[in-house]
């Protein structure tokens, strides 16, 4: 699915990698941070104000099963939109 989204926003990436999990379960897979509610807000298009901190990038990469570089790129695209 990522290949079909050449340059996904963080919202698109979360939705494409969520794969039937609840946002709470996804948050657990990320190690508890960001919280399920925040993941849902991002996925539903709530604008990002700041670039995620390194710990959040690592957690998102782990929970979504992608590299930290993919998270970085998606966050940059989200902030530019």
Per-residue pLDDT at 1 exceeds 50: no
- Write down all domains in the chain, each with its CATH number in brackets: 10-80 (1.10.260)
pTM, 2 dp: 0.85
The residue among 69 and 80 whose pLDDT is bigger is 69
- The DSSP annotation for the chain comes to -TTTSSS--HHHHHHHHHTT--HHHHHHHTTS-S-HHHHHHHHTTPPP-SPPPHHHHHHHHHHHTS-HHHHHHHHHHHHH-
User: Which pLDDT band, with edges at 50, 70 and 90, does 4 fall under?
Assistant: very low
User: Which pLDDT band, with edges at 50, 70 and 90, does 34 fall under?
Assistant: very high
User: Which pLDDT band, with edges at 50, 70 and 90, does 47 fall under?
Assistant: confident
pLDDT at 27: 97
């Amino acid at each position: 699915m990522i290949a079909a989204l050449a340059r996904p926003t963080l919202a698109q990436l979360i939705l494409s990698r969520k794969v039937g999990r609840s946002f709470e379960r996804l948050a657990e897979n990320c190690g508890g941070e960001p919280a399920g509610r925040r993941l849902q807000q991002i996925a539903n298009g709530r604008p990002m104000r700041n670039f995620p901190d390194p710990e959040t990038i690592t957690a998102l990469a782990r929970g979504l099963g992608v590299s930290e570089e993919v998270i970085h790129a998606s966050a940059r695209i989200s902030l530019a939109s």
